Amino acid sequence: MKDGFIRTAAVTPKIQVADPDANADEIIRLAAEAAENGAKIIVFPELCITGYTCGDLFLQELLLKNAKEALFRIIRETAGLDALIFAGLPWEKDGKLYNTAAAFQGGRLLGLVPKTCLPNYGEFYELRHFARGNREADEVRIDLGDGKMESVPFGTKILFACEEMPGLAVAAEICEDVWVPDPPSIRHALAGATVIVNCSASDETTGKDVYRESLIGGQSARLVCGYIYANAGEGESSQDLVFGGHNIIAENGKILSRSARFKNETIYADLDIERIAGERRRMTTFFSRTDEIYTKIDFHLKKEETKLSRFVDPAPFVPDAHGDRQRRCEEIFAIQYMGLKKRLEHTHSRTAVVGISGGLDSTLALLVTVRAFDSLGLSREGILGVTMPCFGTTGRTYRNACEMVKKLGATLREVDIREAVTTHFRDIGHDSEKHDVTYENSQARERTQVLMDLANQCGGLVIGTGDMSELALGWATYNGDHMSMYGVNAGVPKTLVRHLVRYCADTCGDPELASVLLDVLDTPVSPELLPPENGMIAQKTEDLVGPYELHDFYLYYVLRFGFAPSKIYRLARIAFAGIYEDETILKWLKTFYRRFFAQQFKRSCLPDGPKVGSVAVSPRGDLRMPSDASAAVWLKELEKL
């Protein structure tokens, strides 16, 4: 439960139709197994204590009596489990029969939630046996024996809240409830539920599994919640229907776990309640409803650290599946070039100026500019690709820069800036043998001046090349490569830049151009501002500021979810296990926070550029951060790790 994580389980028992005693045995066994595997919320299917397919047997007094007795036996025999459990059974109240989900924990029946929406179409005929559940929480009296009675809430508007885990509030709906236009889960979420459980008995028909997953995933996204869906499976009557035990656990639109159909499985997933709560805080359109009064029932769990089983993606900005990656790369390209296309149209510019270094970022900027020109029907000759060799330029990057511009049909322009920078050193009294920040930044600012003046000369726009990872770390020379007239890479992190360039290499259809692009990918990331050593790049960015794959991971969780440093460190240790030592991860995490806070002044005056993903650093959009904010609170927590 540390850091907001809680393990959940959706369980499909093999039941015996109309045999509550046998079903209770199976539910008790599987609940103990799920708890042994660390599950703190355990969900069983709809009417699993009797079986969903009992038909008119639901009208038999003996079945209802045995179902209730079986429930209380389950509650007694699971009393020692550290878990909140939901299981379905028929429950008679005030002369009517209800299809309910019973919630229990620690030997207590906490509440009964009746089904709201009763299907009476196609293969379903629930109105023959059951009454529609009431929204407002009523009470039922439970006979505890020895003359003792207890009142238990009965209704749909019930929240089960965990005192040991702030933010964890659980509500229930049953099967058809989620398939209707106005599901109870909407009201539950707006009342504060962060986890929705669904005890279900949804039969299988061709293609229904795909729709079911999209439905549950979509509901969890719309409600910004965790959703645990436990479905009936083998054991139900196959007289007219087959139940596949299709269990699903989702979180905010993402399917975390799914079962194979027709196998009666237990599935597990670790929900992140802090992530859900953080996302709701961020979304100003997610509002609480004050006109809905819910009954709140407290339950208790032991405070312990959840040993995470959920996958932590080391590259959260990069799609993992190959097909999806191809589609996403094309989509990102479209966002980039359409942004530039609009800017070129608006300024009536028929020329674009791009500084080409032979590195990743300028390569991507050039490729985007080419696509924008093609979409406008402009000649690629109007793209001025400018290479500006200086003290740190190597033969490899110079050749790649020149070849790339030529292969793409743009106009190559070379401006050697060595003499201009040397003159500048003399003007300001700087020793050219002193390779300090002045030595480096003078070159970056000279390059920007050349590009700006060339753009004035030809009536064009300077296209920015810097990416979002560099902006997050402040790895840009203020008013040097920091500045442009439109920054096409401003919303693209370094790890994604690599995949975009590779995508272009794979799809360009020109083997020679592809060869150049692949060599750019194989070149160490460097600003090339220090003299080469034996003709090789002497200044490697990742040796100085840290691996970009780590910084992109940090950036994602800092800005997307606002996680604390300790939680990000924990996730990074899982994501990069076997790749980086814990000390290395912590070292660069400290570097990230120091630089991220200290360099905000550079992000406060960024040129325009398109947002392409869920994280961005534009001062006009996603990141309204004071340039003089202190990092002390964050660094103090890091020092404790």
- In order, the DSSP letters of 577-636 are TTTS-HHHHHHHHHHHHHHHHHTHHHHTTPPP----SS----TTTT----TT---HHHHH
Torsion of the alpha carbons at 301, 306, 311 and 317, rounded to the nearest 10: 90
Strands 84-93 and 96-105: antiparallel
DSSP three-state, residue 565 = helix
Q: For residues 361 and 493, is the Cβ–Cβ distance under 8 A?
A: no
List of the chain residues with pLDDT < 70: 144-147, 322
Q: For residues 609 and 490, is the Cβ–Cβ distance under 8 A?
A: yes
pLDDT at 146: 64
Q: For residues 27 and 41, is the Cβ–Cβ distance under 8 A?
A: no
DSSP three-state, residue 387 = strand
Residues facing 299 on adjacent strands? 162
- CA 292 centroid distance within chain: 30
Strands 138-145 and 148-154: antiparallel
pLDDT at 471: 96
pLDDT at 288: 81
What stretches of 109-235 show up as alpha helix (H) in DSSP?
Answer: 184-190, 208-222
pLDDT at 143: 79
Q: For residues 571 and 426, is the Cβ–Cβ distance under 8 A?
A: no
Residue ranges of E strands in 68-131: 84-93, 96-105, 108-114
Say which amino acid occupies 470.
E
Residues facing 142 on adjacent strands? 150
Residues facing 151 on adjacent strands? 141
Domains in the chain, start-ordered, CATH in brackets?
Answer: 2-299 (3.60.110.10), 322-544 (3.40.50.620)
DSSP three-state, residue 52 = helix
Q: H or E segment at 33?
A: helix 20-36
Report the alpha-carbon distance of residue 363 to residue 344 in Å, rounded.
19
Contacts (Cβ under 8 Å, ≥6 apart) of 63:
18, 20, 50, 54, 57, 90
What stretches of 483-610 show up as alpha helix (H) in DSSP?
Answer: 494-507, 511-521, 541-545, 548-560, 565-575, 582-598, 600-603
pLDDT at 56: 96
Report the alpha-carbon distance of residue 144 to residue 136 in Å, rounded.
25
Residue ranges of E strands in 277-434: 295-299, 352-355, 383-387, 411-414
Tell me how far CA of residue 282 lies from CA of 167, 188, 297, 388, 491, in angstroms. Answer: 15, 19, 27, 44, 19
Count of alpha carbons within 13 angstroms of residue 422, beta-carbon side: 7
What are the catalytic residues?
46, 115, 175
pLDDT at 581: 97
Angle of helix 322-347 relative to helix 360-376, nearest 10 degrees, comes to 60
Contacts (Cβ under 8 Å, ≥6 apart) of 602:
471, 474, 476, 478, 482
Q: For residues 50 and 92, is the Cβ–Cβ distance under 8 A?
A: no
Instruction: Give φ, ψ of 51 to 5 degrees.
Output: 100, 140
Strands 295-299 and 158-162: parallel
Torsion of the alpha carbons at 503, 504, 507 and 513, rounded to the nearest 10: -140
Closest to 254 in 3D by CA, of 293, 294, 290, 225: 225
pLDDT at 526: 80
Closest to 70 in 3D by CA, of 21, 117, 116: 21
Angle of helix 582-598 relative to helix 565-575, nearest 10 degrees, comes to 140
